[in-house]
Amino acid sequence: MSTPRTLAESTTLRIGGPASAWVVARTESELVLAVTRADAEGIPVLLVGGGSNLLVSDEGFAGTVVEIATRGLAADTDESGATVTIAAGENWDTVLAHLVTRGWAGVEALSGIPGRTGATPIQNVGAYGQEVSQVVHSVRVLDRTTGAVRRLDNAACGFGYRTSVFKRDPARWVVLSVSMRLISGGRGFVRYAELAQEMGVSVGDEASLADIRAAVLVLRGRKGMVLEDADHDTWSAGSFFTNPIVTDEVAVAIAADCPRYPAAEGVKLSAAWLIENAGIAKGFALAADSRAAISSKHTLALTNRGNAHAADILDLASAVTTRVRDAFGIELDIEPTLVGLER
């Protein structure tokens, strides 16, 4: 089954030309077959889930898009919780709504994130004090170097801030399903200051999963991070830059009001703060009639104001990184995957 369409129709940035071929994989075996067949024939493959982390060239993709549309959720329950296995193609937020209804805790703060479940371990999705790496039990994958289907346990996934073995070696792995270990009881902990403030509780307090989910959806909506057709602030790939992790020496030189968080290899600084304090305000665009602009609700989101080309986004990204480099000597890294493009 092949349905050629443009990547603009399948990405949240709504940018990108057509693909040479398009396969919608609705079962795991269709997914494995589509990728292994293309690999055997030497045809490039672009895996697309929700398209929420992709910036694709206007020329499109000279190869086969394999759209991950697999479905299924199975729960293995015990006295303390559940091990839930979710097909890669399941819409992440639909899954979250279900998990919260079942009272299973561990990912409620990741509510409202666009995209499909299989993408979440790849960039170790995180928000409001949780990261999927904290609950991933194992990930079932196709290893394209051998054609074998394997299960990687949490340690083998090599998780870090917005990274994993899947992100480091994208040509090797296809995520087929994700198993997560969740805790029963319907309550979770609030671990992010802004979320606690929104809920009128303190960091570390307990709250119902439904209340946490509702508050996260309000916060994300306010930041333009919940997809909304009519709101161009949401035509984005979420955070376009990761928060830079710098050494203690670099961090002390940055003004104290820049939010910072401890990280494995140093200090994580707020990229949004650095961008704003380098002189780029919310809503910034390179020209009055630019088709790309910084979101008017969050400086980390680069947005398509309608009919933007990939180059418009890249030019804006380059202006942001230049200004931050000039102001602070810090190099911002791009978070979304670039397809057919170079920075």
Catalytic residues: 162, 239, 335
Are 80 and 41 a contacting pair, CB within 8 Å? no
Nearer to ligand EPU, 111 or 138 (CB): 111
Pattern 148-187, ligand EPU, x by CB under 6 A: ----------------------------------------
Q: Considering only residues 282, 305, 309, 325, which one is a binding residue for ligand EPU as defined by CB under 6 A?
A: 282
The whole-angstrom separation of Cα 122 and Cα 10 is: 19
Question: Of 199-228, which residues contact ligand EPU (CB under 6 A)?
Answer: 223, 225
Q: Looking at 238, 246, 310, 328, which residue binds ligand EPU (CB under 6 A)?
A: 238
Question: What one-character DSSP code corresponds to residue 244?
Answer: P
Which of positions 96-155 make contact with ligand EPU (CB under 6 A)? 127-128
Distance CA 131, CA 225 (A): 17
Packing angle of the helix pair 92-102, 209-222 (nearest 10 deg):
150
Question: Other C-beta atoms within 10 Å of 142: how many?
Answer: 21
- Tell me which H or E stretch contains 32: helix 28-41
User: Rule CB under 6 A: is residue 300 a binding residue for ligand EPU?
Assistant: yes
Q: Please report whether residue 278 would count as binding ligand EPU according to CB under 6 A.
A: no
What is the spatial distance between Cα 121 and Cα 139, in angstroms, rounded to a whole number? 8
- Nearest C-alpha neighbor of 159 from the set 194, 130, 184: 130
- Near ligand EPU by CB under 6 A, which window of 5-13, 38-46, 74-82, 294-302? 294-302
CA–CA gap between residue 94 and residue 107 (Å, rounded): 12
R_g over Cα of the chain = 20
Residue at shortest CB range from ligand EPU: 238
Give whichever of 45 and 292 is closer to ligand EPU, judged by the CB atom: 292
Among 111, 239, 303, 321, binds ligand EPU (CB under 6 A): 239
d(CA 154, CA 164): 10
Residue 69 interacting with ligand EPU (CB under 6 A): no
- 194, with CB counted inside 10 A (0-12, 13-18, 19+), is middle
Separation of CA 45 from chain center: 20
**Selected binder of ligand EPU within 111, 299, 303, 304 (CB under 6 A):** 299
In terms of CB distance, is 79 or 257 closer to ligand EPU?
257
Closest CB to ligand EPU among 107 and 272? 272
Q: How far is the CB of 240 from ligand EPU (least distance, A)?
A: 8
Of the listed pieces 141-149, 207-215, 293-301, 326-334, which binds ligand EPU according to CB under 6 A?
A: 293-301
Residue type for position 72: G
Tell me the closest approach of the beta carbon of residue 259 to ligand EPU, in angstroms: 4
CA distance 255 to 234: 30
Q: Which of 22, 273, 284, 328 binds ligand EPU (CB under 6 A)?
A: 273
Helix (H, G, I), strand (E, B) or coil at 201: coil
Residues that bind ligand EPU (CB under 6 A): 127-128, 192, 194, 223, 225, 238-239, 242-243, 259, 270, 272-273, 276, 282, 298-300, 335
